[in-house]
Amino acid sequence: MKELDGKAAVVTGGGRGIGRAHCLQLAGAGAAVVVNDIDLAEAESCAAEIRGRGGRAVADGSDIGTVAGAAQAVATCRSGFGQIDVMVANAGIVRDRTFLKMSEDDVRAVMDVHFFGTFFCLQQAALAMRDQGSGGALITTVSAAHFGNFGQANYAAAKGAIASLTYTLALELARFGIRVNGISPLATTRMSDTYKGADGKEVELPYFDPELNGPMLIYLASDRGNYISGQVFGTG
């Protein structure tokens, strides 16, 4: 028997990068997975790979930056697998510019996906988990939320907001048997190609495999992590 047999999970931003690695690892541990991505073709590709390995997965292209989209992602999980046990709020984008050149659209686009997407997905998942009497949510934050990163004032602020959300929701949702934790992953992905040094110039980063974040994800999603809530862990 696998560790996550009988559990169902939603992973937002699951078509590429860290999200895709999360989906494959959750499925490999036995969970049924909803692969959510605004790029439905990428979501379907990941879901097909999971099914090809003998797992259970469906694709979902909902825009999780809206209440309706977040509700649809949760509904897809419940209708397809009968329940939702794990919500992994991972979707993200970058719109990098220096602070004095950053437009309103640059700020709102990033906040819509990172903050509002996380907020609405956790809210919709928690409503379902409350009725079940259990569940867990995992939020993806990042080191830029704590230490900053050149040209990423919008991104760092959004990630800092959802790190704070982790602590508050852990307090509020404990009475319903719902755990809320965060991970601050280290991984080389398409998004990390935009990182710049303190001088504003692009820097070449070493390669960090997205799959290295998986062990903590699986631990927190499993029954072994039932006693942990309100924490943010560095992974990778």
Residue-wise pLDDT tens digits, 160-177: 999 999 999 999 999 999
Distance, in Å, from the CA atom of 30 to the CA atom of 203, rounded to the nearest integer, reads 38
pLDDT of residue 203: 53
Are 139 and 166 a contacting pair, CB within 8 Å?
yes
Residue 169 resides in a domain: yes
* Residue 2, domain member (yes or no): no
**What pTM was computed for the model?**
0.89
Q: Which residues span the domain enclosing 55? A: 8-235
What span, in angstroms and rounded, lies between the C-alpha atoms of 101 and 95? 11
Neighbouring CB atoms inside 10 A of 226's CB total: 12
CATH number at residue 178: 3.40.50.720
Distance of alpha carbon 166 from alpha carbon 112, whole angstroms:
17
Mean pLDDT, the chain, rounded, equals: 91
Backbone angles phi, psi at 179, to 5 degrees: -100, 145
In a domain, 179, yes or no: yes
Write the secondary structure of 180-219 as one string of H (helix), E (strand) and C (coil).
EEEEEECCCCCHHHHCECCCCCECCCCCCCHHHHHHHHHH
Question: Which residues form the catalytic set?
Answer: 155
- Residue-wise pLDDT for 105-147, tens only, equals 999 999 999 999 999 999 999 999 999 999 999 999 887 767 7
Residue 3 lies in a domain: no
* % the chain with pLDDT above 70: 89
What's the pLDDT at 235?
75
Instruction: Measure the CA–CA gap between 57 and 53, rounded to whole angstroms.
Output: 11
Residues 6+ positions from 158 with CB-CB distance below 8 Å: 110, 111, 114, 115
Cα separation, 205 vs 210, whole angstroms: 14
Q: Which two tokens stand for residue 7?
A: 């559990």
Residue 1 placed within a domain: no
pLDDT reading at 8 higher than 70: yes
Query: In this structure, is residue 82 part of a structural domain?
Result: yes
Q: Which two tokens stand for residue 199?
A: 């001088």
Cα 219 from Cα 103, distance rounded (Å): 40
| Per-residue pLDDT tens digits for 181-219 | 999 886 454 544 454 554 555 655 544 566 787 899 999
Task: Quote the number of domains for the chain.
Answer: 1
Which helix (H) or strand (E) is 137 found in, with range?
A: strand 135-140
